[in-house]
Amino acid sequence: MTTPHAIDVRNLHKSFGDNHVLKGIDFTIDPGQVVCVIGPSGSGKSTLLRCVNMLERPTEGKVFVEGVELTDPDVDIDAVRRRIGMVFQQFNLFPHMTALQNVMISQQRVLKRSKKEAEIIARENLDKVGVGAKCAARPAELSGGQQQRVAIARALAMNPDLMLFDEPTSALDPELVGDVLMVMRKLAEEGMTMMVVTHEMGFAREVADRVVFMDGGVIVEEGTPAQVIGDPQHERTRAFLRRVLHPEG
């Protein structure tokens, strides 16, 4: 029996009123793959990501995660979501809680872990992302990069099978981006399945197994980083990369 795709999206459409944002998307991610989704603002990248774990319900089409259809009305969506870690642009940390408490709370409430077990796992994951010394700090006492790493630790503490990242560095000051990307590189090296919506072309080029270029709600081009970023075949891809890689030109 073949292993199911980690993510399998079939003929996905999403409309908001008259705005047809996704227009028949088909794509897959296999276990252990890192796929970066790039494209201009408004191309549908983040909507696609949000449809993968049903934060947005597709208008048409099917989404499977590890062989389970999320678009099935009878699916236990919460059970499937427990396998999916999600990291947003905004960090969504509880401001009144310490970094440690922020990483513990979902483990206790959702996974029913004891306080002691949740704390051990929280400390391990805060150490893993390089903010173990900040356990007692509240979000306001942390830089944006540190807050985003706490958010990644919070997602990892739930033992997900795959991670979704929605432009995780776009809200950060440029000098803080590298620390977050380094954590993501490490996850990729450890074999974590990742779908990353990003405008960080260097990260996509170095870390992705596959790059998907979206524009106008469709996948224009996909392939290895060398193919899509290094030798794009479509003029829309070439024009986008010219703007992103050579903005002063």
| Dist. CA 174–CA 89, nearest whole Å | 14
Within 8 A by CB and 6+ apart from 93, the residues are 99, 102, 139, 147, 150, 151, 154
* pLDDT at res. 3: 81
What is the percent of the chain with per-residue pLDDT over 90, rounded to a whole number? 89
Strand 68-69 versus strand 84-87 pairing type: unpaired
Q: Decide: 7 and 25 in contact? Cβ < 8 Å.
A: no
Please give the mean pLDDT across all residues of the chain: 94
- pLDDT, one tens digit per residue, over 162-214 is 999 999 999 888 888 999 999 999 999 999 999 999 999 999 999 999 999 99
φ/ψ of 231, rounded to 5, equals: -150, 60
For residue 249, pLDDT beyond 60: no
Average pLDDT for residues 79-108, to the nearest whole number?
94
The H or E element that residue 116 is part of is helix 115-128
List the structure tokens of 66: 């590890």
Mark 213-232 as b/e (b = at least 16 C-beta within 10 Å).
bbbebebbbbbebeebbeeb
- pLDDT, one tens digit per residue, over 138-167 is 999 999 999 999 999 999 999 999 999 999
Q: Decide: 226 and 65 in contact? Cβ < 8 Å.
A: no
| Dist. CA 122–CA 45, nearest whole Å | 30
Overall pTM surpassing 0.85 (yes/no): yes
